[in-house]
Amino acid sequence: MRRLILLAAAALAALAAAGTAGATRECNGFQVCVPVAGPWVLAPGRAETQWQLACPKRFIVGGLDAELTTRALDLAFRATLGSPVNPGISTSTSAVFLGRLVAGRDPAASFRPHIGCIPTSGGGPRVPTAHHPVYPPSRPTVLRASPLTVRAGVTRRVTRACRSGERLVRSSHAIGFYTKAPPSRARATAVHVARATAHGRVTVTIRGDAAVRGVRAVVQLDLLCAGGG
């Protein structure tokens, strides 16, 4: 136990710049837990916005929470099928949050995801009980996320692709601000992103206005890839 506590303390120190969990409850019920706070992620429309938040090495997601700027934000996370519903079975080393504004219009609507990370316990593999040609649930896809820094007055053009042997299923992007307070309307509309896909490669063009100067703003480009085995 002492070793685990020391490991958690080291991870906490490394993540100090990411912010603290405050009154959130992602670590409730765990003796050893590292809270990780994400940025304020814009979710201004009816389309679903996703954000992947990862634990430090040798930790898995044990708990989740979030802060919302409006009650009209519907928030969930992507889990894996399995029994029992448990860290390491339903979750892995990262969590994908899914947000959608379901009422009204608010260009600054946002959520800040939080995860509580616990030491990995190793858990054994699931044993399939079905017979061919019926298969148990598996993970045929992997989400490859790229954080791209936004700079005021600078236009960036970045291209990403799935790894060798994989194929692109779909892509998406989200805008996040690593600030204590949620972004204002002016700041929320100061990041402009255009995304295009061609021949299995995704290109994003990012431009930041003056309102993001002095602020850590990022665009997370997500590629859902299949076929990597």
Asked if residue 28 is part of any domain, the answer here is yes
User: 89 and 188: one domain?
Assistant: no
Regarding beta strands 40-42 and 110-119, do their DSSP bridges make them parallel or antiparallel, or are they unpaired? antiparallel
Query: What pLDDT sits at residue 23?
Result: 82
Residue for token digits 């992997």? 142
Say if residues 109 and 66 touch (Cβ distance below 8 Å).
no
User: 112 and 146: one domain?
Assistant: no
Give the number of domains in the chain: 2
**Is the predicted pLDDT of residue 123 greater than 80, yes or no?**
no
**Is the predicted pLDDT of residue 198 greater than 60, yes or no?**
yes
Asked if residue 164 is part of any domain, the answer here is yes
User: 115 and 6: one domain?
Assistant: yes
Asked if residue 136 is part of any domain, the answer here is no
Asked if residue 45 is part of any domain, the answer here is yes
Query: What pLDDT sits at residue 67?
Result: 97
Query: What pLDDT sits at residue 106?
Result: 94
- SS3 of residue 117 by DSSP: strand
User: 109 and 171: one domain?
Assistant: no
> What residues have CB less than 8 Å from 54, skipping those under 6 apart?
36, 93, 94
pLDDT tens digit string along 63-119? 999 999 999 999 999 998 888 888 988 899 999 999 999 999 999 999 999 999 999
User: 114 and 174: one domain?
Assistant: no
Query: What pLDDT sits at residue 133?
Result: 65
Whole-angstrom Cα distance, residue 212 to residue 21? 24
User: 11 and 114: one domain?
Assistant: yes
**Among residues 119, 149, 166, which one ends one of the domains?**
119
User: 192 and 145: one domain?
Assistant: yes
Say if residues 153 and 185 touch (Cβ distance below 8 Å).
no
Domain that includes residue 29, residue range: 2-119
User: 114 and 150: one domain?
Assistant: no
What type of residue sits at position 3? R
Q: Pick the residue with more confidence: 128 or 207?
A: 207
Regarding pTM above 0.85, the answer is: no
User: 93 and 148: one domain?
Assistant: no
Rg, the chain, Cα only? 19
Whole-angstrom Cα distance, residue 10 to residue 28? 20
Domain CATH number, residue 69: 2.60.120
pLDDT tens digit string along 4-60? 444 444 444 444 434 444 589 999 999 999 999 999 999 998 999 999 999 999 999
